[in-house]
């Protein structure tokens, strides 16, 4: 699998969450994703960017355009150096939230994207990578 385009941006505030949403839409459009897939990508990006700011204290998101033979995709990788997630299984359950949200951020992003990976170490931070293929 080849990465054909790569860009990293900061996500440390609500304004930057909005920017991540805009970038996600622009990247999805440029890669030829249809409206439904664009919406799924933007929604997942928004949820994960918010989590990065609210729970991780801010971090980065890397946008990567992928080429895997006949498949084209978009991977978003969110990273922070926050407190991490102590119980990943619990955090991935619908309805679970340590804050005031609906508890659909991680599980919702997982459902919206083709691939979902999460690595978290308490006291060291969290890395979530999601990919949508077309």
pLDDT in tens, 15-66: 999 999 999 999 999 999 999 999 999 999 999 999 999 999 999 999 999 9
The DSSP symbol for 60 reads E
Domain count for the chain, please give it.
1
The closest of 48, 52, 66, 47 to 1, measured between CA atoms, is: 66
First to last CA, the chain: 14
> Which H or E element spans position 111?
helix 105-112
Extended strands (E) in the chain: 2-11, 59-68, 71-80, 115-121, 125-133
For residue 14, the model assigns a pLDDT of 94
The answer to whether residues 68 and 1 touch, using CB atoms and an 8 Å cutoff, is yes
What is the overall mean pLDDT for the chain? Answer: 92
Q: What is the CATH number of the domain that holds 120?
A: 3.30.565.10
- Comparing 29 with 99, the larger pLDDT belongs to 29
The residue range of the domain holding 104 is: 2-133
């Amino acid at each position: 699998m080849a990465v054909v385009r790569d860009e990293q941006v900061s996500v440390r505030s609500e304004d930057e969450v909005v920017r991540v949403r805009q970038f996600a839409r622009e990247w999805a459009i440029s890669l030829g994703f249809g409206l439904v897939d664009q919406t799924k990508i933007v929604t997942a990006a928004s949820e994960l960017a918010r989590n990065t700011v609210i729970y991780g204290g801010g971090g980065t998101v890397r946008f990567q355009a992928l080429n895997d033979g006949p498949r084209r995709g978009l991977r978003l990788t969110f990273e922070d150096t926050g407190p991490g997630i102590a119980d990943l299984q619990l955090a991935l359950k619908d309805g679970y939230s340590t804050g005031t949200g609906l508890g659909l951020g991680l599980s919702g992003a997982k459902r919206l994207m083709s691939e979902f990976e999460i690595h978290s170490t308490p006291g060291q931070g969290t890395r979530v990578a999601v990919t949508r293929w077309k």
